[in-house]
A = this chain, B = another copy of it.
Amino acid sequence: MLHCRPKILRYTEGVKKARPFPALIDVARRAGVGAGTVSRVINGGQYVSKRTMARVQEAIEELGYQPNVAARSLKGRRTKTIGLVVPSVADPFFSVAAGAIEAVARDHGSPVLLAQSENLPSREREQITSLIQRRIDGLILVPCDGGNLSLLQQAAFPLVCFDRPFPGQPFATVLGDNYGGARAATEHLIHRGYKRILCMAGDGKLFTSQQRVRGHRDAIRDAGLPYFAELEVQDYASASDALRRHLLGKDRIDAVFCIKNLITMNAYKILRELGVEVPSSVGLLGYDDFELADTLDPPITVVRQPVVGIATRAAQLLFDALEKGKHPKGTTTLKVDLVYRGSCGEMLASRRYT
């Protein structure tokens, strides 16, 4: 049943255009075999005789052949590449996370396409679009906006979020226990006798901030302490001024709870600058551990998130989806540690907050 097969000259032997890389067909010609055979050798070598295999491998070697992933993924619908969208890789939290994710991805043979959203919805959209056009197999996302839902649903690749959930949507998500961590932190401050605690929340629109503020608030309420709205600072711009004001004016605060890395460091600077005694006149507690937190004077008590754990888990969930087909749903919340140092009273051993 041979139907008319017109002989089409596909790979013009005569005119060799200067190609940057040799293609599979070049290997085939050099080894004197067909294209299919070379492909078989590359992919495991089932149904190829030892002799042929050796000849092909020699040709691959000689030409320095490198398979073209673009062509491969065009046919096979797998790019073996995952996407990662974070607000900013310069942020220590996300840079450590990105490093961990790259490590997992590499172990699975997939490089990472890195994109930064800067917490801007429009930027996030651009970046996701760009990744979709590159047909990534899966995406790890720190979402900053719910507006890209339709984009992602249409794309239909596995998606795992970390650090923040996708607003209003049950994608697989890996979080630190923001509420619990903040609550434990504030309870610790209260237990230490601090009563008027300034909560420096950074960007109040962010999920993590909101959760931590909530934990803080609940701890205050449950301890029966009065709640003061003016003791929650929800933006970066006015944070330093607010802290100074509350340290110097009347109704002075006696503790500061900082909800993020850089805020803690900034608060520490200001406390030093004003010559405030820590922890005796004002207590300081930060969210996120940082290099030197244990060396400052006094060492800073912090809530420590398992950054690598969170990122690694997210990556593993993604590859489970890709390789074992088990689509992850639901939220994984990882425990955080309260690391007692000296900035809100005497030092104790670290304790895992459950």
Interface of A toward B, CB cutoff 8 Å: 4, 6, 20-21, 64, 66-71, 73-74, 77, 79, 81, 84, 88-90, 92, 95-96, 98-100, 102-103, 106, 109, 111-116, 126-127, 129-135, 154-157, 262, 265, 268-269, 272, 290-292, 294-297
The answer to whether A98 and B114 touch across the interface, beta carbons within 8 angstroms, is: yes
The answer to whether A71 and B69 touch across the interface, beta carbons within 8 angstroms, is: no
How many angstroms between the C-alpha atoms of A290 and B74 in the bound complex? Answer: 45
The answer to whether B295 and A268 touch across the interface, beta carbons within 8 angstroms, is: yes
The answer to whether B111 and A112 touch across the interface, beta carbons within 8 angstroms, is: no
Can you identify 7 A-B contacts, CB atoms within 8 angstroms?
A: A103-B116, A106-B116, A111-B113, A111-B134, A268-B295, A272-B295, A272-B297
The answer to whether B4 and A129 touch across the interface, beta carbons within 8 angstroms, is: no
The answer to whether B77 and A20 touch across the interface, beta carbons within 8 angstroms, is: yes
* Residue of B with least CB distance to A98: B89
The answer to whether B111 and A114 touch across the interface, beta carbons within 8 angstroms, is: yes
A interface, over-half SS: mixed
How many angstroms between the C-alpha atoms of A295 and B74 in the bound complex? Answer: 54
The answer to whether A70 and B114 touch across the interface, beta carbons within 8 angstroms, is: no
The answer to whether A90 and B81 touch across the interface, beta carbons within 8 angstroms, is: no
Number of copies: 2
* A308 CB, min distance to chain B CBs, angstroms: 9
The answer to whether B133 and A115 touch across the interface, beta carbons within 8 angstroms, is: no
* Residue of B with least CB distance to A96: B90
The answer to whether A115 and B89 touch across the interface, beta carbons within 8 angstroms, is: no
Contacts of A102 in B (CB 8 A): 89, 114-116
The answer to whether A133 and B265 touch across the interface, beta carbons within 8 angstroms, is: no
The answer to whether A99 and B116 touch across the interface, beta carbons within 8 angstroms, is: yes
The answer to whether A133 and B103 touch across the interface, beta carbons within 8 angstroms, is: no
* Residue of B with least CB distance to A94: B95
Contacts of A116 in B (CB 8 A): 99, 102-103, 106
What are the nearest 7 A-B pairs in CB distance?
A95-B95, A90-B99, A114-B114, A6-B6, A70-B70, A89-B99, A269-B295
Given contacts A90-B99, A265-B292, A292-B296, contact A67 B133 (CB under 8 A): yes
The answer to whether A68 and B135 touch across the interface, beta carbons within 8 angstroms, is: yes
* Residue of B with least CB distance to A116: B102
> Of B69, B74, B126, B297, which one neighbours A135 at CB under 8 angstroms?
B69
Q: Taking A20-B156, A81-B113 as given, write out 17 further A-B residue pairs in contact, using a Cβ cutoff of 8 Å, ordered by the A residue number.
A: A20-B157, A21-B135, A21-B154, A64-B154, A68-B74, A70-B70, A70-B71, A70-B74, A88-B99, A89-B95, A90-B99, A92-B92, A92-B95, A95-B98, A106-B115, A111-B115, A262-B291
* Residue of B with least CB distance to A77: B20
The answer to whether B66 and A133 touch across the interface, beta carbons within 8 angstroms, is: yes
Contacts of A291 in B (CB 8 A): 262, 265, 290
